[in-house]
Amino acid sequence: MMRQAALLTLLLALASCKSSPPIDYAGPIATWSAYGSDEGGLKYSPLTQITTENVDQLETAWIYHHGDFSDGSGEYGRTSFQATPIVVDDTLYFCTAFNRVIALEPETGDERWTFDPRLEAKLGSGPYPLTCRGVAYWADPQPQPDAVCNTRIFTGTRDAELIALDALTGAPCPSFGEHGRVRLREGIGEAEAWEYYPTSPPLVIRDVVVVGALVADNVRADAPSGVVRAFDVHSGELRWAWDPVPPGWDPEPGPGGRSYQSGTPNVWSIMSGDSKRGLVFVPTGNAAPDVYGGERHGLDYYSSSTVALDASTGEAVWHFQTVHHDVWDYDVPCQPTLFQIPGVGGGAPAVAQATKMGHVFLLHRETGEPLYPVEERSVPGGGVKGEMLSPTQPFPTHPPPLHPTSLTPDDAWGFTFIDRRDCAEKLASWRSEGIFTPPSLQGSVQYPGSAGGPNWGGVAIDPVNGVLFINQIRMALVSTLIPRKQYDQLDTSEVVYPDELYPMQGTPYGVKRGAVLSSWGAPCNAPPWGTLTAVDLKSGAVLWDVTLGTTRDQAPFPLWLSLGAPNLGGSIVTAGGVVFIAATTDKFLRGFDAQTGEEIWKQRLPYTGNSTPMTYRLRPTSKQYVVIAAGGHGWSEPGDALMAFTLPD
């Protein structure tokens, strides 16, 4: 009887098993040749093998651990594995936080080669987690038989070098610069290693490779230049340099061999290109320092803007400023996304630019003119002594702002009346007059915060259905200016990111910034604290807006609540109808139905995935893979896992 019962149990279990549908191999094939899938950053894939009907069958195909991670306790700084790999010519390429470049077999994860730049910079210094978001690929249109470096991988390093590698072997290209390297510190003046270096992938367009760099926020008014430079893809010779100074400005030479103007807006995020039109699109940061502009003297002409540069000369063709005289660190954080969709802006070639405020500006790609009305609206004034605020700021109308714009004591939220009252009292003690409330001595509520809204993850666009997808943080911060004498007496040694205390040397103030949290450690604004939104680009209407993330991995069990989570990283969308995104403080990669916003799949990760995923299918007989870098951020455990998922055989 026991054997019969066991057999019956087994038969019932087998009968209840959901069988996997056969894989459809008739669909398209596609690679992922640039950070955002193409040079325009759509983050869209035409692949259809993984669909809303079978995505719940995805399973782990392979995991690659590269070993380059640190919690900051030793000689290395804290790391964040934010890379989005590229796949070209049957090889997957990515970089690590220590700037090693690694090539893998895309369907097995087997290592093909690695390159170690042997960094000289002290990795343990600086306020930010160490990161490298990606690499770029170039193929010679006229390859020489048996020549080295007919195909190249370009990468930037913590040592502020641009390196060219043979894509087949990983060996430095001898014809490029000095033994494959070009130094990027030439002309920027004196700077600490942590003040200036590339974190985002270079852009290869036509016969040049274009690179910007991170410049540390709020350190000093005479920060390193934000110059953007283009180098010959063959020789590494400097072809042009765009020094982002106002028209007619004569850059001032300075100490340490400086030839580019200090304090100018930098381009730390991801650039886009239009090879046909010969245009480079750069998202600019702030003129220095970020939170006080009284010492800029007009250098914020190009700050917090999308700028189109001539790929041949580096001349500015047009620019659109998303924030005037930015004192909120609302720099443009993400890749300008190029699209052209019938029914959107009359079918014109376009740029979608998301900002930290939850604003998405739709611009004509050739002129920079808005495709739909942008309104200059009055904003709060009354800045500190020495500040010159703009009385108005630009607001898009199509789509309208996608993030709440005010947080007052009446809006205070809490799990109980106790923490809600605590939040209300804190909010009442600070200045809070809605978006663009200027920093103040008493403390000013900034909502959205300087991390967003959106951040470097940017947007993904489905060009077939004309839908834009955007993920956002919904958490406020308080920004407090501190008079110089008072700041100089503070102990800054124990303050670490994401709690912020910056000197802003050369100005009358330092600045303290931090999240607006209750005594229980929860945000004082109502959830959701993370969202994923779909926007119809033709009408500008929000199609759906859903909660992204949970409190898991931030709160103890059983307080794992679907309240949304802070998120850094981006989404991709496929022709199979699935939006893939990790990004959150909980350790999951998720799949959403692109039409409804329903969460239809999620997979636990070993670390948070604060990166943008990618997908590829190599041959007609191949399966489609989805790959994500899971390696934490400043708010979570650092790690080193590159993970691939696919359908079962």
Q: How far apart are CA 454 and CA 127, in angstroms?
A: 21
Contacts of 427 (CB under 8 A, 6+ apart): 407, 408, 409, 411, 412, 445, 516, 524
Per the listing, tokens 């730049």 go with 117
Backbone angles phi, psi at 533, to 5 degrees: -130, 140
Contact 229, 240 (CB under 8 A): yes
Its sign, for the CA torsion 277, 613, 215, 202, is negative
Instruction: Tally Cβ neighbours within 10 Å of residue 75.
Output: 9
pLDDT band at 622 (very low <50, low <70, confident <90, very high): very high
pLDDT mean over 458-478: 98
pLDDT band at 12 (very low <50, low <70, confident <90, very high): very low
The pLDDT score that the predictor gives to residue 496 is: 62
The pLDDT score that the predictor gives to residue 98 is: 96
pLDDT mean over 224-234: 97
Q: How far apart are CA 393 and CA 589, in angstroms?
A: 36
Statement: residue 373 has pLDDT above 90: yes
With 0-12 / 13-18 / 19 or more C-beta atoms within 10 angstroms meaning exposed / middle / buried, residue 617 is buried
The pLDDT score that the predictor gives to residue 14 is: 47
The pLDDT score that the predictor gives to residue 4 is: 57
pLDDT band at 429 (very low <50, low <70, confident <90, very high): very high
In DSSP terms, 209 is beta-bridged to 204, 231
pLDDT band at 495 (very low <50, low <70, confident <90, very high): low
What percentage of residues in the chain have a pLDDT greater than 90?
87
Statement: residue 7 has pLDDT above 70: no
The pLDDT score that the predictor gives to residue 494 is: 64
Q: How many CA atoms lie within 13 A of 304 on its CB side?
A: 27
The pLDDT score that the predictor gives to residue 127 is: 82
The pLDDT score that the predictor gives to residue 23 is: 86
**Active-site entry in 222, 329, 331, 640:** 329
pLDDT mean over 547-576: 96
Whether 110 is catalytic is: no
Q: How far apart are CA 631 and CA 133, in angstroms?
A: 12
Domains of the chain: 134-335 (2.40.128.630)
The pLDDT score that the predictor gives to residue 195 is: 94
pLDDT band at 331 (very low <50, low <70, confident <90, very high): very high
The pLDDT score that the predictor gives to residue 16 is: 43
SS3 576: coil
Per the listing, tokens 């190029």 go with 338
**Quick one: tokens of 383?**
């800045």
Q: For the chain, how many residues are written?
A: 649
Backbone angles phi, psi at 645, to 5 degrees: -125, 145
In DSSP terms, 103 is beta-bridged to 93, 113
pLDDT tens profile 350-362: 999 999 999 999 9
Contacts of 485 (CB under 8 A, 6+ apart): none
Q: How far apart are CA 483 and CA 267, in angstroms?
A: 29
SS3 588: strand
Statement: residue 164 has pLDDT above 60: yes
Please report, as a single letter, which amino acid is at residue 602.
Answer: K
Measured distance between the N- and C-terminal CA atoms of the chain, rounded to whole angstroms: 37
Statement: residue 225 has pLDDT above 90: yes
Q: How many helices (DSSP H) and strands (DSSP E) are in the chain?
A: 3, 40
Contact 440, 432 (CB under 8 A): no
DSSP state of 428: H
pLDDT band at 525 (very low <50, low <70, confident <90, very high): very high
Candidates 533, 521, 524; CA nearest to 567 is: 533
Average pLDDT, the chain: 94
With 0-12 / 13-18 / 19 or more C-beta atoms within 10 angstroms meaning exposed / middle / buried, residue 507 is buried
pLDDT mean over 616-645: 96
3-class SS letters over 38-58 = ECCCCCEECCCCCCCCCHHHC
The pLDDT score that the predictor gives to residue 59 is: 98
pTM: 0.96
Radius of gyration of the chain (CA): 24
pLDDT mean over 382-411: 97
Statement: residue 123 has pLDDT above 80: no
pLDDT mean over 410-420: 96
SS3 510: strand
Tell me which of 38 and 126 has the higher pLDDT: 38
pLDDT band at 293 (very low <50, low <70, confident <90, very high): very high
pLDDT band at 479 (very low <50, low <70, confident <90, very high): very high
Tell me which of 73 and 150 has the higher pLDDT: 150
Q: How far apart are CA 41 and CA 39, in angstroms?
A: 6
Please report, as a single letter, which amino acid is at residue 301.
Answer: Y
Statement: residue 201 has pLDDT above 50: yes
pLDDT mean over 117-144: 90
Please report, as a single letter, which amino acid is at residue 228.
Answer: V
DSSP 110-151: -EEEEE-----S-TT-SSS-B-----EEEE-SSPPTT-TTSE
